[in-house]
Structure 1
Amino acid sequence: MEVTIHHTSGAQFVGETGSGHAIVIDGPEDIGGRNTGARPMELMLLSVGACSAVDVLHILRKGRAPVADCRVKVTGTRAETDPKVFTAIHLHFTVIGEGLKSAQVERAVKLSAEKYCSASIMLGAAAEITHDFAIENDETD
């Protein structure tokens, strides 16, 4: 796996993935940024949330759970001093589907957290990572 980061101006960069996708990354104005893209640490939270969501959705679908959607809100707490690493990360899953069972969702979240989500497990070496979930009925009918 490989990515390339190209400086464009100020504190702005464009990241290009080996799979052919690009994303704008920028810093705050006080360091020369223009707020034109995500901050690097925000991308870390996005990575953890996306990695976990992919796992949870895959596990539920593989188990034939009636899942229609999966959303994750990720919150991170950073250290007060440099390096301002994440000290705590919380993932709150909202899983939507008609007739979903709490045990199914709990199992999927636990498997992702403990076995499958590389990003979460890797960051867990430095930060306390917690998870919870809510189930909503699918009202698209």
Structure 2
Amino acid sequence: MECTVDWGGPEGMLFVARTGSGHVTAMDGAPDGGGHNLAPRPMEMMLAGAGGCAAYDVVLILKRGRHAIKGCQVKLEAERAETDPKVFTRIHFAFSVTGTGLPQAAVERAVKLSHEKYCSASAMLAQTAEITHSVSIHEA
């Protein structure tokens, strides 16, 4: 896996990342740090990556279990250390899963498997952060 990150120049703190899979994304800083608020912060991207990784696992596990999943949303709330490096110290993943006849146990198992076995991003962040989960299921 590879990625190249280029600084946008001396007029701000915009960075453009080009991934090995051929995609491009931007990151920017807050105005008080020299940025122009044109894109997510790098740490927001890390949080989004963890959410995407976990949601991907949950959907895949439920689909492989032949459950009628129709939607999956995960809202992440995080706290960071007050001193540098300002690592994540707590992250809560609130999953909202929609489907037809989804068993609570199956959804909770998918979330648990993601956290304990499959989600690389969560595993890395768990080195500094207390990670918790909640699940709500909605009939579709």
Normalised by the size of structure 2, how large is the TM-score?
Answer: 0.96
| Matching of residues 65-104 of structure 1 within 5 Å | 65-104=67-106
Which residue is 2:28 aligned to? 26
Give the letter aligned to residue 67 of structure 2. A
Q: What secondary structure, in the 3-state scheme, does the structure 1 residue paired with 2:21 have?
A: coil
Identity of aligned residues (%): 55
Deviation, structure 1 residue 50: 0.2
- Quote the Cα distance in structure 2 between the aligned partners of 1:79 and 1:119: 19
Count residues with an aligned counterpart.
Answer: 138
Deviation, structure 1 residue 80: 1.2
Give the letter aligned to residue 5 of structure 1. V
Gaps of 5+ in 2: none
Give the letter aligned to residue 82 of structure 1. D
- Residue 131 of structure 2 corresponds to residue 129 of structure 1: yes
- Quote the Cα distance in structure 2 between the aligned partners of 1:48 and 1:74: 9
Q: Deviations over 1:85-128 (max 9, x none)?
A: 10001101000001111001011000000000000011101111
Which residue is 2:46 aligned to? 44
Deviation, structure 1 residue 6: 0.6
- Quote the Cα distance in structure 1 between the aligned partners of 2:84 and 2:8: 26
- Quote the Cα distance in structure 2 between the aligned partners of 1:4 and 1:12: 14
Deviation, structure 1 residue 66: 0.9
Deviation, structure 1 residue 22: 0.6
Q: Higher mean Cα deviation, 50-59 or 6-15?
A: 6-15
Deviation, structure 1 residue 31: 1.8
Normalised by the size of structure 1, how large is the TM-score?
Answer: 0.96
Moved beyond 4 Å, runs of 4+: none
Give the letter aligned to residue 68 of structure 1. K
Give the letter aligned to residue 6 of structure 2. H
RMSD over aligned Cα, in angstroms?
A: 0.7
